[in-house]
Amino acid sequence: MKILAVESSCDETSVAVVEDGRKVYSNVIASQIDTHKKFGGVVPEIASRQHVEAINTVLKEGLEEAGVKLSDIDIIAATKGPGLIGALLVGLSAGKALALSTSKPFVGVNHIVGHVCANYISFKELEPPFVGLIISGGHTYLIEVKDYVDFTLHGRTVDDAVGEAFDKVARSLGLAYPGGPVIDSLAKKGKETIEFPRVMIKEDNYNFSFSGLKTAVLNYLNSAKLRGEEIVVEDVCKSFQEAIVDVLIEKSFRLARETKLDKIVLCGGVSANSRIREAFEERGQAENIKIFYPDLKLCTDNAAMIASAAYYEYISGKVDENNLANPNLGLK
């Protein structure tokens, strides 16, 4: 079963052809990062316009790279949320128009679920159940994946997403956008010398809060400047990153123990962070829990993960007929 999928939730226009949720024939991505760098973040109006300009070209490239025609496609899918409303509408409209004009089934996909499914592409042997940690610029979720379409939400951020915290701290340090990769790189040269808070909220609660950590970093920087003290950017980056890692590790492994699951799956753009991967691997070996994370090219937004999610939703028979764009779509 071949699925043609479109992803346009933020600043990547992507089209992929994937077979049976796992075999990727093509995964074309047109990124807008260079455009948004000068603004220090994604500008929604600019993102929407660039999606409109790119969508037809990327669709053509996706089919050509896969070596298939539209007549070879069984299902058409697109991201319906969450994301930027204007950006979502471009990809969703393109996907629905293709499905309508070719009389093929259409599946609107939850972008968050798509991130989880990226691991099915990287690891053909991976199957539920497992604990899933979704960490990206806009989302932080801790879930129990009981089946391909059956999720239990245990925790989420109550303020900033983890990737958002990385970007805001990077901006305060005068670093380039996106901030996550820059902080990850600089942290390797730093010493963990600054005590930043690890916000756990409550011991029986799996929610996350990164706003206080971000504020603590800003307060440290402002105080150091007022006292005329030297700010060692590498030390700030490492100390901040370790505070993030400690919270993610503690809550993820606690949920794995509580649910008696021996697999933790990381996904989303921040799962590309080398220190997060290293720390989870170390703790996983100590507690005999297997750690999975996607190939780097599948961590950020891409259409292959959307195609994978669409496949499992379609064969489950639980396809949601509400395919309106929903910028605030979450996990129930």
Mean of pLDDT values over 8-28: 97
Contact 293, 123 (CB under 8 A): no
Query: Per-residue confidence at 215, pLDDT binned at 50, 70, 90?
Result: very high
For residue 241, the 8-state DSSP code is H
Give the model's pLDDT for residue 252. 98
Distance (Å, whole) CA 37 – CA 220: 26
Contact 310, 5 (CB under 8 A): yes
Mean of pLDDT values over 174-193: 93
Distance (Å, whole) CA 81 – CA 83: 5
In order of 97, 188, 302, the CA distances from 2 in angstroms are 18, 42, 17
Strand pairing class (130-135; 106-110): unpaired
Please check the confidence at residue 204 and state whether its pLDDT lies above 80.
Answer: no
Please check the confidence at residue 233 and state whether its pLDDT lies above 90.
Answer: yes
Give the model's pLDDT for residue 319. 79
Contact 229, 181 (CB under 8 A): no
Give the model's pLDDT for residue 38. 84
Distance (Å, whole) CA 107 – CA 307: 9
Beta strand ranges found along 161-278 (DSSP E): 263-267
Please check the confidence at residue 57 and state whether its pLDDT lies above 90.
Answer: yes
Distance (Å, whole) CA 214 – CA 247: 14
**pLDDT digit string (tens) for 282-329?**
999 999 999 999 999 999 999 999 999 999 999 998 777 888 999 999
Q: Can you tell me whether residue 171 is helix, strand or coil?
A: helix
Provide the residue type at 126 as one letter. Answer: L
**DSSP-H helix ranges across 28-129:** 33-37, 44-66, 85-102, 111-122
Give the model's pLDDT for residue 37. 85
| pTM value > 0.75 | yes
Distance (Å, whole) CA 64 – CA 27: 11
Distance (Å, whole) CA 332 – CA 223: 42
Q: At which residue do the structure tokens 């796992």 appear? A: 22
Beta strand ranges found along the chain (DSSP E): 2-7, 12-19, 23-31, 75-81, 106-110, 130-135, 140-147, 150-156, 263-267, 290-292
Please check the confidence at residue 170 and state whether its pLDDT lies above 80.
Answer: yes
Give the model's pLDDT for residue 23. 98
Query: Per-residue confidence at 25, pLDDT binned at 50, 70, 90?
Result: very high
Residues 6+ apart with CB under 8 A from 231: 221, 224, 225
Mean of pLDDT values over 144-149: 97
Residues 6+ apart with CB under 8 A from 83: 8, 9, 10, 111, 138, 327
And the tokens for 122? 């990287």
Please check the confidence at residue 261 and state whether its pLDDT lies above 80.
Answer: yes
Give the model's pLDDT for residue 315. 96
Please check the confidence at residue 272 and state whether its pLDDT lies above 80.
Answer: yes
Distance (Å, whole) CA 332 – CA 330: 6
Q: Please classify residue 222 by burial: count the beta carbons closer than 10 Å to its beta carbon, then call 0-12 exposed, 13-18 middle and 19+ buried.
A: exposed
Rg (CA), the chain: 20
Contact 238, 187 (CB under 8 A): yes
**pLDDT digit string (tens) for 62-101?**
999 999 999 999 999 999 999 999 999 999 999 999 999 9
Distance (Å, whole) CA 138 – CA 232: 28
Work out the percent of the chain whose per-residue pLDDT is above 90: 90
